[in-house]
Amino acid sequence: MKTNPGAIRFASIGEGENTIFFVHGPLGSWSAFIRFMMDEDFRDSARRISAERPGVGQSQSLKAVSSI
Question: Has this prediction a pTM greater than 0.85?
Answer: no
CA distance linking residue 59 with residue 62, whole number of Å: 9
- Please name which of 58, 33, 59, 57 lies closest in space to residue 46, comparing C-alpha atoms: 33
pLDDT in tens, 3-44: 666 677 778 888 888 998 887 766 666 667 777 778 888 777
- As beta bridge partners, residue 10 has 51
DSSP-based three-state secondary structure for 12: strand
